[in-house]
Structure 1
Amino acid sequence: MYNRQIRKYDSSIGLQGKKARNRLKRRFNTDRPYQKMVTDVSEYRYGKMGQDERVYLSPIKDLCSGEIVSFNISDHPTTEFVMKPLLELINK
């Protein structure tokens, strides 16, 4: 069943921190593990979830191997949710 999006998503709504500098400058390839890693937050609905029900995934990917080295899943996209996989990775 297809659910039509009622409102357009706008990531600029709400409080924002300061934007990080673009240190990669589109140079994504590397030959050293753990030198360059990227992350993103994705939202998903599954099963019989309604329009307002979502789960969020935040993986951290190593650009050397293409491997997901850490991740977190949550009901709410909070700062703690995003920082948890990063702190787990640092503590390994």
Structure 2
Amino acid sequence: GLMENFFGLLKTEMFYDQEYKYHNLQELTQAIEEYIEYCNNERIKSRLKGLAPKEYRSQASINPIF
């Protein structure tokens, strides 16, 4: 379910009605890699207390829950 949600979001945000942006497979691959990098390191998530996933993981490793 989690991966289905991610791929649905990826397609909605960067592909549907935007196919004209990518002239070849290499450009599409590069755009997907940049999107994944953005999602993992910069995109702020409300369920992660307003932090990007990378920041949240870093904070969690410094302040363990248990």
- TM (normalized to structure 1)? 0.25
Question: Which is helix-richer, 1 or 2?
Answer: 2
Higher normalized contact order (CA 8 Å, seq sep 6+, divided by chain length): 1
Task: Flag the structure with larger Rg.
Answer: 1
- TM (normalized to structure 2)? 0.31
